[in-house]
Amino acid sequence: MKHEGAPQGAVVPSKDEGAPTEPDGGFGRNRFGGLSGKLLMLTVLFVMLAEVFIYVPSIANYRNTWLMDRLTTAGVAASVLAETSTIAPRLQEELLRTTGALAISLDQGSKRSLIAMSNVPNEVDFVVDMANVTPWSSIVSSFQILTYRGDGLMRVIGLGQMGHTERVDVVLPVDLLQQDMLAFSGRILALSLVISIITASLVYIALQALFIRPLRRMTRSMERFADNPEDASRIISISGRNDEVGDAEHRLAAMEEALSRALQQKQRLADLGLAVSKINHDLRNLLASAQLFLERLEHVPDPTVSRLAPKILATLDRAVGYTQAVMSYGKAQERAPQRRLLALRRVGDDVADVLGLADHDTVTFDNKVPEDIEIDADPEQIFRVLLNLVRNAVQALESEKDETLVRRITLDARREGSCVHVSVSDTGPGIPGNIRKALFKAFHSGSKKGGVGLGLAIVAELLKAHGGSIHLEEDKPGTCFCLEVPDRTS
């Protein structure tokens, strides 16, 4: 006889390239193929998986209960019938029919009685002793019975009644238990499907209301905003939610608002660039005429004329410089630096010569750059950087009316490894604290009157192209800008 034993980032083509368009951002294209449909299927899957973990111990418990019911029924009847010496065939047949057994015997320790029996084959496929049943053996035996193929028998041994010592021995057809277990499994499966569908539907509806619809709303808002980002009325409206979706709406609205302002500012800058280019063209014609007049005035032997003519020309040159600065900043981008090794002290002397600082009446230029300091930079661009900084310092010092004040500009530098540190400082009034945060942004003018606010923005852009940087020293008197220009890496 056989005994019971213990046996798982593409490039999207543009519309003019023939790419197909999505009318609703892709959400309405396949509702059940989207996020909500996937969540619905995952919910069904997870609920069914949870039901599997419930089903396994349930089917084992159903098997044990089914066997104990047969043992109890057989044990009660056997105890009554065992009191008589003979048992009528009719009672035997009724007992076997009630329990579904083929043979029932009662073991009373010193006495073993055969209560009822039909024709029993010798071969028994399963032997179950209910006194030695464990949870794991119950599970294994349950699946052995569920997958069993054949017309075999099983022998079940156990106490027939609670509190009694008689042991009942019952022989049963395996398919009798198997059919009941399959029917129980079908009921569990049907119930699991119903629970899964109901749970998944509730989850689907909740996710649609809480997440999917707000996401679609944000997507439609982004598409509408993308059609005309300069229109502030297209910015997403805040729903007032206090969860993560509400936070995303706030951040999206802030981003769209910032982008709209930036695009409006860029459009104004583009219009300004066009206007300035026209002004620059006309201004050059005016300057040509002014130069002709100045050439004539130079021959007039009048000391007043000789004194004022250079100042008039300098004023005109400065106006041209402002216009050219706007034009230069309005370009798509500066050309890439063509770097060479330069003697930084010589560059500083050239800047002083251009600004006329060698014989300036009130401003002193002190070039403290050591003779051996070499900088790896574009000659024209590093000259423009120093020219802008020194010119700003000159204008700040010239605006001071007190003749007792010291007016000095100092240019100094040192090399640390592969980086040159340059400082341009002056003894002026310094930069007000309210404009320091936007000091290197375009059109944020410093303290000098009439400035267009582009000099420092151009300086920062040129240094960034060199891989360098500029910052303002906060703890020094006057104004001190510190520049860092690293050498080429290759």
Coil, helix or strand at residue 183: helix
pLDDT beyond 50 at 12: no
Query: In this predicted model, what pLDDT tens digit does every residue of 225-277 receive, in sequence order?
Result: 888 887 777 888 777 777 777 788 888 888 888 888 888 778 777 777 677 66
In contact, 290 and 347? CB cutoff 8 Å: no
The span from the CA of 462 to the CA of 484, in Å, is 12
DSSP, collapsed to helix, strand or coil, labels residue 340 as strand
Nearest-angstrom CA–CA distance, 19 and 33: 22
3-state secondary structure of 451: coil
CA-wise closest residue to 398 among 386, 408, 410? 408
Q: Catalogue the long-range contacts made by 426-430 (C-beta closer than 8 Å, 24 or more residues apart).
A: 426/393, 426/396, 426/397, 426/478, 426/479, 426/480, 427/397, 427/477, 427/478, 428/393, 428/396, 428/397, 428/400, 428/478, 428/479, 429/396, 429/400, 429/478, 430/477, 430/478, 430/479
Range from 116-130, 161-175, 382-396, 428-442 that averages highest in pLDDT: 382-396
Domain 337-486: which CATH number of 1.10.260.40, 3.40.50.300, 1.10.10.10, 3.30.565.10: 3.30.565.10
Q: What is the mean pLDDT of the chain?
A: 77
Number of H helices, E strands in the chain: 10, 12
Write the CB contacts of 60 (distance below 8 Å, at least 6 apart in sequence): 135, 138, 139, 141, 142
Sign of CA dihedral 294, 298, 299, 301: positive
Long-range contacts of 469-477 (CB under 8 A, 24+ apart): 470/440, 472/431, 472/436, 472/439, 473/423, 473/425, 476/425, 477/427, 477/430
Cα torsion angle, 9, 10, 14, 19, sign: negative
Mean pLDDT of 365-378: 93
Hey, where are the domains in the chain? Answer: 23-200, 337-486
At 120, the pLDDT band (50, 70, 90 cuts) reads: low
Residue 26 has pLDDT above 60, yes or no: no
**Segment (H or E) for 97:** helix 89-99
> What span, in angstroms and rounded, lies between the C-alpha atoms of 175 and 195?
30
Helical packing angle, 89-99 and 35-81, nearest 10°: 160
Which residue, 444, 466, 448, 467, is CA-closest to 457?
444
| pTM, 2 dp | 0.42
Contact residues for 200 (Cβ-Cβ < 8 A; gap 6+)? 40, 41, 43, 44, 47
- Lowest mean pLDDT: which of 30-44, 68-82, 157-171? 30-44
Per-residue pLDDT, 481: 93
Indicate left, alpha or beta for 247 from its phi (over 0: left) and psi (-120 to 50: alpha): alpha
State how far the alpha carbon of 235 is from the alpha carbons of 250, 253, 263, in Å: 11, 6, 14
Residue 124 confidence (pLDDT) above 70: yes
Bridge partners for 107 per DSSP: 112, 167
| 3-class secondary-structure state, position 427 | coil
Residue with the two structure tokens 């368009």: 21
d(CA 373, CA 347): 11
